[in-house]
Amino acid sequence: MDTQHLRIFIEVARQGSFAAAARKLNLATSQVTRAVAAIEAELGVRLLHRTTRKAGLTEAGSDYFARMCDVMEAFDAAADDLQTRTTEARGLVRLTASVALGQKLVLPLLDAFHRQHPGLELDLRFNDRVVDLIDQHVDVALRQSPTLDGSLVGARLGASRYRVCASPAYLAKHGTPQAPADLAGHACLRIALPGYCSDWSFRERNTADAEVQKVAITGWLTASSALSLLQAALDGVGPVLLADWLLAPDMAAGRLVDLFPEYEATVTNFEAAIWLVYASREHLPRRVRVVVDFLRAELPRHIEPRRHDR
How many separate domains does the chain show? 3
Which residue range is the domain that position 211 belongs to? 162-266
Q: Mind listing the pLDDT tens digit for each residue in 171-226?
A: 999 999 999 999 998 999 999 876 667 899 999 987 767 899 999 999 999 998 99
Segments in the chain below pLDDT 70? 1, 52, 76-87, 146-150, 194-196, 208, 281-283, 305-310
Predicted model pTM:
0.72
Q: Does any domain span residue 274?
A: no
Asked if 41 and 114 sit in the same domain, the reply is: no
Q: Does any domain span residue 134?
A: yes
Contacts of 131 (CB under 8 A, 6+ apart): 96, 125, 138, 141
Cα–Cα distance for residue pair 169/21, rounded to 1 Å: 54
What's the CATH code of the domain at 55? 1.10.10.10
pLDDT of residue 279: 83
Asked if 244 and 298 sit in the same domain, the reply is: no
Q: Does any domain span residue 236?
A: yes
pLDDT of residue 309: 44
Q: Mind listing the pLDDT tens digit for each residue in 2-29?
A: 888 888 888 888 888 888 888 878 889 8
Q: Does any domain span residue 48?
A: yes
Cα–Cα distance for residue pair 260/239, rounded to 1 Å: 11
Q: Does any domain span residue 157?
A: no
What's the CATH code of the domain at 175? 3.40.190.290
Asked if 180 and 219 sit in the same domain, the reply is: yes
**Other Cβ atoms within 10 Å of 188 Cβ, number:** 24
What's the CATH code of the domain at 118? 3.40.190.10
